[in-house]
Every structure is written in structure tokens, then in C-alpha cells.
Structure 1
Amino acid sequence: MVPGIRRLVVVSNRLPVAVREVDGEWTVKAGAGGLVTALAPVLRDRGGIWIGWSGAADTDDHVSDLLADFSAEAGYDLRAVPLTSAEVDDYYFGFSNEIIWPLFHDFQTRCRFKPDYWRMYLDVNFKFAEVVARSTQSDDYVWVHDYHLMHQAFFLKSMGVKRSTGFFLHIPFPTPDIFLKLPWRWKVIQALTEYDLVGFQTMQDRRNFVQCLHMLMPEARIEGRGAVITVHVGSRSFRLGAFPISIDFNQFNELADRPDIVREAFRIKEALRHRKIILGVDRLDYTKGIPERIRSIGTLLDRYPDLKGRVNFVQIAVPSRTEVGEYRDLRIEIEQLVGRINGRHSFPGWVPVHYHYRSLPREKLVAHYAAADVGLVTPLRDGMNLVAKEYCACNTGEDGVLVLSEFAGAAAQLQKDAYLVNPYDVEGVAKALHRAFYWDKATRRDHMANLREQVRHHNIYWWVDSFLQAGVSKNLDDFPPVETVKYERG
């Protein structure tokens, strides 16, 4: 579609590094997420660029020097977009996380539709677009990520800057009855139509967008079928696609097989006296359904006394947005629920719920995945939820069970072999867990083997490949790295 693409330019709210001030000294540390793992080699070997906010407000020139040093070592450029404290408050905490995040996750009652948030969102998007315009050339492909930056293509065009652009939404896209509550709904839809390709996690998200598009732009005409379709609006066309994001399967699988992690997984099981382990892993957020999940565990113990003393639920909650009041309230609610259930059901030598409010190193997390007999992944709404895929990748013995919310984007891919549940139905989740406890070994192995094959085949590299193919008729092999990462193609 777009011949002669020279470089890939990634634009996201945050740079793929963590910038922090420790004891008066600024430090920079490389990120370790799947997106960084997949895209860093592409950026490195074609002289690419990653544009984003450093994560620190009102930082000084020392941060720029640190980023320059990191760029020289990483082999690709980091371009920081400086944000003031006021911009962070209204653009990031305000519009992005008090309007778009709750609205797109079906929590519209949590939205604060403040006009000041909207104006700052536009101002910051324009600031990002200025950096993109200055940092790129006409033969670059600009790939924008997530809801913080929906107006990049719109502002680039308003400046007369011609670039090939793609946008990927990592969170769900809501149904029309929810999206239409956004006071700036038409302007957001219009901004998204300015991209050459807009990608979503699932076909349902894409359908929701098309329905909203038809309501707000009835002249829009859809052409094609399958994962990627074309939309014609007036004199211009753009493409819409469903591209479910994934993980680096081999990385998690190999970690889980490492001798030190195998020993750590055994220690976890031994500490719980080799009882069955049900595991939940989440960032502390109201969309993740942690209180509902803990209530389901309480119902499980109330309804099925045969499991008392035979099972432990381990919940790892990674701290998030600790400065926001409602997140502090959520933490208190969870701790009170855990206390009540343990108070009601514990007996000497057995405490049913183990709650850990902290972030674990990758190796410790993988050991927990490997030790768990059941992965309980029950968000109330989620764009994809990579915890479900990480759990499967780490289950090298293929004897675990994935109990998965039907409202997670991952359910679209994993529904045939995961045990799907409605996270709001505490009795239904308890029943599913009870059944999973008694699944025979052959059934568990068949389902987990299928889940692992699905995640292995449709990994993070497949995801990047599929988006680039749709966006510029290229894949990772067209950005030849010095040392290519081998992966299975679909």
C-alpha cells in the first residue's frame, strides 16, 4: 500500500523507559513490556524513533541528557514530549483517566466530563503532534498507540504534514449507547477517521466503532470483509482492523522452565502445603473486578465445604494510581473483604486467601504462574488482558485451568478452551472453580495444550506483523534486524 517506508516511528503516551528521581539523582531504566520487546529491534535496525512523555513532570535538562545516552546505547532515538504538572493533571489524570478510561470500560458513572480536561487533551495532543512533525519525514510510518493520543493524525493534517499513520486502541471501544454520552463524541470519531489504519483488539470493538461511525457520520460506507475492512467517508478512505495483541510466548515459556524458577514455583507450592492454588494477578483498578472475585472465593467456600483446607486463593494486586482517592478506597475495600473471608473460614494451619499488594519481579511472577493450578482472570471489562496469556505460556506442565471473564478481549481468542464466566455472577464463578477443581488430568491437559498453542502461534510478533501488513504491506522481515527473533507465522 505504502511503498518506500523508511523508518517506523512509534508514538505513545509514555516512552519505553522509566525515568525517576532517586535521592536527588535522575535515573532511566529500559521498559520490559511486550510492545518494547517486539518493536525495539525494528526501531534499532532501521534507525527508528519512539516519541512519548518521560513520565516525569517539569523535569530539567538532565533527563534529556539521560535519554540521549539511552538512545545511543539502545540504537534508536527517544524523543521526549515535555509536560507540565498542569498538563499531566488535566490531560493524563483528567481526560484520559477520568473520562476515556471509565467510559470505554463501561463505567460511565465514574466519568467527570469537565470541559477543561477536553481543552487540555487537545493542547497536549497538539504538542505531541508538533514533536512528531519535527522528528519525522514524509517516508516514515507513524504508529500511534492508545486513547491518550487519538488526535495525532488530525493535528498533523491540520499542520499540512503528510505522513502515513496507523492507530491502535489497546482498550475496548464501547457500544454506541455508551460512547454517545461523550460530549465530544463527534470530534473524537472525526479524529480517528484521519488515520490511514485504525486497529482494535477484537472484532466486537471494531463493530462498535462502525456502529458509532454510522450514527455520527451516516455517509460513511463500508467495503470488504474479514479482519480488515475499508471505510469511505467523502473523498477519503481509511482502513479498520481487528488485531488482538499478545505476548512473547517463548520468553515466558523459557523462563518458566528455568531451574531457579522451577525451584521457586515448588517453594510456593510447599509454603501452601501443596494445596490447589487459584491465582489472580492484576493492576489495582476498578475494571479488574478484584472485589467481585474475592466475593466469589467467599461464595466458593460457603457453598462447597469440601474444598475447605484443600485450596488457596492468591491475589497479587500491583499498586496503581496511588494518589487517586478512589483507588485508595478500592484497596481498603479489598483488604476488608479479604479480612472478612479469612476471619470466617480460616482454621489452624489454613488461611484461604493470601493477598499481596505489591509489584513482583518478572521471575517471581512467572514462578507464581507456574505454581498455580487455576488462573482466575475475571476483569469486569478489558481490552485484551495479557495475564490470561502469560498464565498459559508459563503452564509448561499443561495441567492448569484458565477461568476467564467473558468480558475480557482475550475471550474472543481463548473461549474454546478457557472456562468462561460472568465476573458479576459470584455464584457462577464459584461453581466454575468447583468444577475446575475436579477436572480430570486428561481434560485439563487437552484444554491447556490448545490454549498454549493459540498463544504461541498468535504471539506479539504475529501482532506487529499483522498490523504492519495492513498498514504498509510490510512485516517485521522488511525491517531486517541484525539478529532476527524467530517466530511462527499464521
Structure 2
Amino acid sequence: MSRLIVISNRVSAPTGSTSGAQGGLAVAMAAALRANGGLWFGWSGEQTDQFTGHINFQRAHGVTTATVDLEEQDVQEYYDGYANRTLWPLFHYRIDLAEYEREFAGGYQRTNQRFADTVRPLIEPDDLVWIQDYHMFPLGAELRQRGCENRMGFFLHIPWPPRRLLGTLPGARALVESMFAYDLIGFHTEEWLESFCDYARQDMGAVIEDGVARLGDRSVELIACPIGIDAAAFADMSKSVNARLAYRRMRDSADGRDMIVGVDRLDYSKGLEERFLGYERFLIEHPEERKEVFLLQIAPPSRVSVESYQRIRQSLEGLSGRINGEYADVDWVPIRYVNQGYPRDQLAGIYRAAKIGLVTPLRDGMNLVAKEYVAAQDPADPGVLVLSRFAGAAEQMGDALLVNPYSAEEMADAICQALRMPRDERVRRWERLMAGVQERDVTWWADRFLAALRRAEVDA
């Protein structure tokens, strides 16, 4: 059997810990690498004064990782710059926040060339190569230039923007052309796949038939393949000692009130300002529910060196303070706003204690919090998932209460409906949601993509 070479911006080495701190992608990659052998290559997260290409190999729990350090300039231009100040906002439909700087684009290309130079000697002729996410769009083309003829797949974990939005990116055509170096490209949803096809067809003249895009002498297969979670493990985790302690802690602190929970990385794409305003509208329209409910928003900071992330933190602090100041009483505050992360086993207990899971991003490639919330519920008395229709997860999770996160009224109505939903309806909705989460779990995702990659025709 051929080995698997996974390449991503960051590498998450398996820890073997029972705390469940690893995310869904790390779980999937570790399982695939154990089954196929091979290694996981990427940036270590550390900086060096001069890039040497030195690789740090480690092996833990059946998985080999290979990481490199980057120079400070690489981090500023490739990661903080082009990846997170250009591509991230643009691909989440926020062209007002996208920064188009030549230095960013140059650093992005240079760093991908460095990745290619470093990982190429590690790739053997029969290996499958699987590259992850927007940090590494051009890596496949760089590897082809270095003589790599292997089957090579790419998976995008964020949305693909509509054609007109992508057209605002300088060098958009060259970026998309570079993706034709892959044999297979995966997206979470049909919508993101169709947006890619629209640009390739209309702006580049690609011919797309039967799930294959052809441009010149290159062809690439396209697949919609939504990622999942390790549903069985997460459900078990919700009954672990740490989860039960977190559940009890939340129920005790709730003091008989219903808890609404949101868990999101602190990011403008997650719709947190709109969520707070929708919750405030609920408090205004349903004064009888005040002091009977509270919102727990967990939002660990990220990308703290990027100005737009600093602004969203300041805005949320001001907004939560204003709402609490206006509606709180001596024995109740409407919003508990927490800027730190928690291990996944504790989160499982928090999810289980929540009457409502509020997952309302303005745009999201998938959003696994929605699936984790479902997996953590008590089957006899489950909570209700309120989900943005603009999250990739909405395509699979139609039994959630789907809302337009831009509409405070719609969000307020959904919160009210969820709080008053009879138990039998909650159970019916949860059973259908849970069946989908279990059927299309993270192993299904990885197996489906790798099976398609093994079948893909190689045009190298």
C-alpha cells in the first residue's frame, strides 16, 4: 500500500491524552497516517533567524511528523499577511477587510517554494500527497516543477468565494491555474465547488464535465466531501469524568436557568457581534424570559497581531459590557463572555449542559462546533441547535433551526422557539441530526477523499 504524505500549515502531533484537546482535522490525519504509514509535514509554529530547511522529525502514537521553522519575514508575509489578511477575509466574503500587498503575495509564494524544496526529498514515487487548505494553494504546482509525479490532492477547509469576489484578488487567475497541478480538489459543500467551477469556466475558459475540470493539458477532479467529527469518541467524551465535572459546574452556576452556549475562535467571520445583538433583541422582545436564561460565549483570541482581530475583540468587549450594563440585575447577568479556550472534554460537558447551541457564523467552510454540540447531547433530553444557514454544516443539518445571522429578529425568534420546543420534537430533531453526524464522521471524510485520490487519473 502506498504511503500518505499530509502537508499542512501547522502540524498537530498526536498526544495520546484523554483530555481530547486535538481538533477534528488532527484526529482525521492521525488516523489516516496510522492506516497508511507516511508522515505529516508542515510549519512548526516556531521562528528562526535564517531558514535552513532543517527538518525536525518526531514519532508519537504511530504518527511521524516532520516540521520546519520559518523566518520572521516569512511569518509576517506568508501567514499573518497573505494567508490571514488577504485570503481569509476575501474567502469569507469580507473584501472590505482584505489587504492586497505585493509583499504579502511574494512572501506567500516564497514560503510555499521553501516548503516544496524541503518536503520534496521526503516523497517517494508511490506516495499519495494530500495538501491541506488555503495556506498552500500553489504548493502542488511547486512540487510538480520539482519533478513530483505522484497522485496529489488538495482540500479546502474554508469557503470558496463567488466569482466576482475572487476577481478582486490580484493574481487570482494565476492562483487558480496553479490548482490545476492537483489531481483532486475537495470542498466541504456543493456551493463552494460550484463557485470554483464558475470562476474556472467563466474567467479562465476551463471545460467542466462529469466532475472534472480541464484547462489546457491539465485536468483535475472535483469533489464535495464534508468533514465530520469523531462522533462516537466525542459522545463518549461527553460522559467522561472531566465532562461530567464541567456539566455539573455549569448546571450549578446556572441556578435553574437555561444556558445558551456559543464556542468560537475570536474571528469576524463567526458573527459574534450579530449574535450578541440577536440575543439582545430576544431580551427586548421577551422580557418575561430575562433572568430565566443566559448566554455563555467562549471566544479564545487568535491572530492577535492582525489589526482586524484586535478590533473585533474591542468591539465585543464593548458590546457585551453595554448589554450587561443595561439588562443585568444584582443576581443575574445576561452574557458571560470568556476569552479563553477549554479542552474538548470540558467543552463536551458544557455543550451537554446547554439548552441551546448557538452556532451563527456569517460564513464558514463547515463548522464542527455544530456537530460536536449534537454529539454531546443527552439522548433523552437533548438541547436545540440554532445554526447559521451560511455555515457549510447547514447543508447537512437541516433539522437544526436554521437562521440568517444578519437578522437580529430571526435569531431572537429562533432562540424563543428553541427554549419553548417540546421534548418530543427536540428528541426527533436530535435523532436525525445525530444519525447524520455518525454516518458522515471524520473517518468517512478521510476515507472518501483518499479513495477518490487513488482513483484519480494522473496528468503529471
- 2:404 maps to which residue? 422
- 2:180 maps to which residue? 193
- 1:223 maps to which residue? 209
**Offset at residue 159 of structure 1 (A):** 2.1
- 1:91 is matched by which residue type in structure 2? Y
**Offset at residue 323 of structure 1 (A):** 2.5
Confirm whether residue 466 of structure 1 aligns to residue 448 of structure 2. Answer: yes
- 1:235 is matched by which residue type in structure 2? D
- 1:138 maps to which residue? 125
TM-score norm. by structure 2 comes to: 0.94
- 2:158 is matched by which residue type in structure 1? I
**Offset at residue 238 of structure 1 (A):** 1.5
2:80 and 2:305 in contact (8 A); partners too:
no
**Offset at residue 333 of structure 1 (A):** 1.2
Distance in 1 of aligned mates of 2:199 and 2:264: 30
- 1:318 maps to which residue? 300
1:81 and 1:127 in contact (8 A); partners too:
no
Q: What are the Cα deviations for residues 371-412 of structure 1, in whole angstroms up to 9, with x where unaligned?
A: 001000000110000100010010133521100001100000
- 1:480 maps to which residue? none
Residue 232 (structure 1) aligned to one of 214, 232, 250: 214
- 1:349 maps to which residue? 331
CA RMSD of aligned residues (A): 2.2
Distance in 2 of aligned mates of 1:443 and 1:74: 42
1:280 and 1:316 in contact (8 A); partners too:
yes
- 2:110 is matched by which residue type in structure 1? D
**Offset at residue 467 of structure 1 (A):** 0.3
Shift >4 Å, 4+ stretches: none
- 1:86 maps to which residue? 73
Moved more, 370-379 or 332-341: 332-341
**Pairs aligned (count):** 451
- 1:174 maps to which residue? 161
- 2:46 maps to which residue? 56
- 1:401 maps to which residue? 384
Distance in 2 of aligned mates of 1:198 and 1:404: 27
Confirm whether residue 100 of structure 1 aligns to residue 87 of structure 2. Answer: yes
**Offset at residue 435 of structure 1 (A):** 1.3
- 1:369 is matched by which residue type in structure 2? Y
Distance in 2 of aligned mates of 1:76 and 1:388: 28
1:45 and 1:75 in contact (8 A); partners too:
no
- 1:181 is matched by which residue type in structure 2? T
Distance in 2 of aligned mates of 1:60 and 1:265: 48
Residue 455 (structure 1) aligned to one of 417, 437, 441: 437
Distance in 2 of aligned mates of 1:59 and 1:410: 41
Q: What are the Cα deviations for residues 282-325 of structure 1, in whole angstroms up to 9, with x where unaligned?
A: 00001011111011111110111121111111100112112333
Q: How does 1:294-309 map to 2 (within 5 A)?
A: 294-309=276-291
Distance in 2 of aligned mates of 1:303 and 1:41: 48
- 1:37 is matched by which residue type in structure 2? V
Distance in 1 of aligned mates of 2:88 and 2:242: 39
Q: What are the Cα deviations for residues 133-185 of structure 1, in whole angstroms up to 9, with x where unaligned?
A: 11101110000000000111211222222121000000000000100111111
- 2:367 maps to which residue? 385
* Distance verdict in 2 for CA 1:279–1:16, change over 3 Å: same
Moved more, 390-399 or 105-114: 390-399
Report percent identity of matched pairs.
Answer: 38
- 2:382 is matched by which residue type in structure 1? D
Residue 197 (structure 2) aligned to one of 195, 205, 210: 210
Q: What are the Cα deviations for residues 96-132 of structure 1, in whole angstroms up to 9, with x where unaligned?
A: 0011000000000111110111111111111111122
- 1:276 is matched by which residue type in structure 2? D
- 2:188 is matched by which residue type in structure 1? Q
- 1:16 maps to which residue? 12
Residue 157 (structure 1) aligned to one of 136, 144, 151: 144
2:193 and 2:222 in contact (8 A); partners too:
yes
**Offset at residue 259 of structure 1 (A):** 4.7
1:18 and 1:54 in contact (8 A); partners too:
no
Residue 109 (structure 1) aligned to one of 96, 101, 113: 96
TM-score norm. by structure 1 comes to: 0.88
